[in-house]
Amino acid sequence: MTTSRRKFLAGGALAGTAGLAAPAVHSQATIKWRMQTYAGPALAEHVVKPAIDSFNKIAGDEMQIELFFADQLVPTGELFRAMQQGTIDMVQSDDDSMAAPTDLSVFGGYFPFASRYSLDVPVLFNQYGLNEIWDAEYSALGVKHLSAGAWDPCHFATKDPIRSLSDLEGKRVFTFPTAGRFMSQFGVVPVSLPWEDIEVAVQTGELDGIAWSGITEDYTVGWADVTNYFLTNNISGAWAGSFFANMGRYEELPDHLKELLKLTMDSSHYYRQWWYWGGEADLRVNGPKMELTSIPDEEWQQVEDAARVFWDEIAAESELKAKVVQVFKNYNDVMAKAGRPYRYT
Rounded mean pLDDT of 320-325?
Answer: 98
Question: Is the full-model pTM beyond 0.85?
Answer: yes
Is 154-237+289-338 a domain of CATH 1.10.10.10? no
Write down the CATH superfamily of domain 31-150+239-283.
Answer: Bacterial extracellular solute-binding protein, family 7 (3.40.190.170)
Give the strand pairing for 31-37 and 90-93: parallel
Domains 31-150+239-283 and 154-237+289-338 share a fold: yes
What pLDDT digit, counting tens, does each position of 9-36 carry? 344 444 444 444 444 444 579 999 999 9
Residues 6+ apart with CB under 8 A from 6: none
Q: Residue 105: is its pLDDT beyond 90? A: yes
What pLDDT digit, counting tens, does each position of 249-271 carry? 999 999 999 999 999 999 999 99
Residue 76 sits at φ, ψ, to 5 deg, of -55, -40
Asked if 321 and 105 count as a contact pair (C-beta separation under 8 A), the reply is no
Counted residue by residue, the chain has a size of 345
CA distance 17 to 38: 58
Q: For the chain, which residues make up each domain, given as ranges?
A: 31-150+239-283, 154-237+289-338
